[in-house]
Amino acid sequence: MGEGRKDLRGLEGLELANRIYEIGTLVHKEGSLDDVIKAIVQRVLEETDSDYVGIGLVDEAGEQVVHAWGVMRDGTWIQGQHSQAVGVGVTGTVVETGKPLYLEDVSTFESYYPLVEGIASEMAVPLKVGESIIGTLDIESRSQGKFSKTEMALLQLIATPVALAIHNSRLFQEERHRLRQLTLLNRVGSTITSTVELEELIQRIVDDLRQELGYEFVAMGLVDPDGKRLRLSAISTDMDVDLKVGHSQEPGEGVAGMVVSMGESVLIHDVSRFHNYVPTAKEVASEMCVPIKTGERVIGMLDAESRQTHAFDDSDLLVFETVADTIAQAVENARSLDLAERMREDLARMVIHDMRNPLTVVQTTLEYLEHSLETLAKNGHVTTSTGRNRRYIESAKASCEQLTVMINGLLELQRIEAGEMELELEPTKVSELVAGIVDSTAIVASAMQVDLLAKVESTTLEARIDRRLITRVLENLLANAMKYTPEGGSVMVEAGPVPVRVLEARLPNTASGILFSVRDTGRGIDPEDHERIFEKFAVVEVKADDRKRGVGLGLAFCRQAVLAHGGDIWVESAPGKGSAFSFVLPTGHGPTD
Ligand code: ADP
């Protein structure tokens, strides 16, 4: 027997009541409702000669007594096992009548529900705050007629402080919940004004809603532009659910679908009584869902679900509706930005494309002038300016040539970016690919007095790739390496299977791949430029090196071509330390397979 456990008589009973009263006042700041209830039942068990002590709480509708926590003599905790309609069973009867109930022999009670096996007698008192009954406290024993009037008096005595403790803890939790709601609204507002990507923003809001407000499931979905499907954009949950971002359903289907098609918020206190509920997870008991609207148009929904019935109230709904408005604004902004961006790209594409025609005219004119000059010279019309004119024409032709390469490069880059370029995947021997590129660069390398080396780990290594694109990627990387490496330096091209460590970091969902690297001993690149140089028109200014300024399309092309293969590309480099550009491609299959 526990030290504090004793028969309850006179003064001892009062002393116990006093101790219990302490619990009543002991709603510690951090103590959750669960902690308070557990502390109470534990204490009552220690202080009475019972085999089980439990507390039931009346639900918000006032229809059910929901078992909250109970503890058995052997220390086993029982939580939320059962709920009883008001008027039924021991606790249901106590709530209905508002009077204590003592069963010397539970088997005589018609609607007795055996929560714990082998119980023979039970005593239960209502927990009242003012006139309202918020739950029951009951003690149970395996022996018949175990409890006496003293226990009954005691239970009645402690019922009020216990009820108050529970009530205060609830108030405190509510207060904290309201405070969190406010903080959250504030934060959502400020996240939106910072420039984060829409998807990231939505995920962050959904995570925040769940964590801060203590919901078990929060999700957000957007209606497809054609209005045909509702698609999940973000989920945050600790429940075991099958749903994934990208899951789609018809507007009208389930609660979320219904909210989208009606454009009205829905608060469901108990999903088991709701005909249109499609279960997200077995344990979901209540749900709240609000539409995301711009004007009258519903563009999505925001949804929360809980394991508890009556988990959401009107103030939660208000918070969700406010957040939904903010999200609607962010989605609108992102969509109009997208549209502007697309229009800008289309325009750029048209302009670039149309530049080809005047350029061809200039090129043809230059050809014509060159030809005329030759004809004149052949006919003996050589003047002092003939040689100079020839050089002018040569230089103009070279510039046109450069411009043509640039325009074609831009058009091609735009095609890959727009996903319009079909990859022509074919089995390719890696060693042959590398050898071909190195051969064609060897002359340039020796002219620039740069050592060019190649190392391919296995001659049998093969990959299904778009040979033309990957050749151009390697050519670009090699040309850069040459360009930025001074005389006497060296450039090395390597290829081989991707080591496991790199595979995990760069191609986490792939079993194997090929790693290509182009290393040089050149000027190197500042780490803060490592990401930027892969963007279009990104050039790194190096004052002394102005001759070498390009337009900054090479690496942008390389990245797009590698991404189109489902691969990844990156650089390791530091100023003065040379650079190593590497890329990995998954083997055997492209992203479309
Ligand atoms: P471009 O060479 O036409 O400027 P790229 O997209 O190929 O365009 O390269 C972008 C920038 O990256 C270059 O301006 C250069 O500053 C830097 N860069 C690329 N390769 C190297 C390299 N091997 N060594 C040093 N800097 C490099």
Residue 185 C-alpha to ligand 1 middle, in angstroms? 45
What pLDDT, on a 0 to 100 scale, did the predictor assign at position 276? 74
pLDDT per position as a tens digit, 191-243: 655 445 778 888 888 998 898 888 899 999 999 888 889 999 999 998 888 88
Are 585 and 463 within 8 A, CB to CB?
yes
- Provide the pLDDT for residue 283: 84
Confidence (pLDDT) at 241 = 85
- Rounded to an integer, the average pLDDT of 357-372 is 89
For 54, the 3-state DSSP assignment is strand
Residue 308's pLDDT is what? 85
Q: Which residue has the tokens 């080591």?
A: 499
Judged against a pLDDT cut of 90, whether residue 329 lies above it is answered with: no
Taking residues 290-313, report their average pLDDT.
91
Residue 520's pLDDT is: 97
* CA-proximal residue: ligand 1, atom 9 (nearest): 552
Query: How far apart are the C-alpha atoms of 468 and 144, rounded to whole Å?
Result: 89
Percent of the chain with pLDDT over 90: 44
Contact at 8 Å (CB) between 332 and 294? yes
- If one compares 516 and 49, the residue with the highest pLDDT of the two is 516
On average, the pLDDT of the chain sits at 86
Rounded mean pLDDT, 447-456: 94
Please give the pLDDT value at position 548.
54
Enumerate the β-bridge partners of residue 572: 580
DSSP letter (8 states) at residue 69: E
Tell me how far apart the alpha carbons of residues 518 and 532 are, in angstroms, rounded to a whole number: 19
Quick: pLDDT tens for 526-567: 999 999 999 887 777 665 554 555 667 889 999 999 999 999
Residue with the bigger pLDDT between 194 and 291: it is 291
Q: How many CB atoms lie within 10 A of CB 366?
A: 17
pLDDT of residue 4: 41
Angstrom distance (rounded) from CA 429 to CA 456: 11
pLDDT of residue 3: 41
Is the CB of residue 218 less than 8 Å from the CB of residue 210? yes
- Residues 117-167: pLDDT tens digits? 899 999 999 999 888 999 999 999 999 988 988 788 888 888 888 888 888
Centre of ligand 1 to C-alpha 476, Å, is 9
Residue 387 has pLDDT above 70, yes or no: yes
Q: Are the beta carbons of 507 and 568 closer than 8 angstroms?
A: yes
Pocket of ligand 1 (CB under 6 A): 480-481, 484, 520, 522-523, 525, 533, 538-540, 550-556, 579
Label residue 253 by pLDDT band (50, 70, 90): confident
Distance (Å) from CA 300 to ligand 1 centroid: 44
Ligand 1 atom 23 nearest Cα: 481
Q: What is the mean pLDDT of residues 265-275?
A: 88
pTM of the model: 0.47
Residue 9: CB atoms within 10 Å:
9
- Catalogue the long-range contacts made by 398-401 (C-beta closer than 8 Å, 24 or more residues apart): 400/359, 400/362, 400/363, 400/366
Contact assessment for residue 409 and residue 417, using Cβ atoms and an 8 Å cutoff? no
Which position has the higher pLDDT, 243 or 433? 433
pLDDT of residue 429: 94
φ, ψ dihedrals at 498, nearest 5°: -75, 125
Q: What average pLDDT does this structure show over 55-59?
A: 94
Q: If you measure from the C-alpha of residue 545 to the centroid of ligand 1, how many angstroms do you get, rounded to a whole number? A: 12
Percentage of the chain exceeding pLDDT 70: 91
Q: Rounded CA gap, 207 and 230, in Å?
A: 20
Work out the average pLDDT over 61-71: 92
* The ligand 1 atom nearest the CA atom of 553: 6
pLDDT above 60 for 504: yes
* Contact in structure between 290 and 304 (CB atoms under 8 Å): no
In sequence order, the 6+-apart residues with CB closer than 8 A to the CB of 253 are 230, 278
Determine the pLDDT at residue 485: 94
With a CB cutoff of 8 Å and minimum separation 6, the contacts of 509 are none
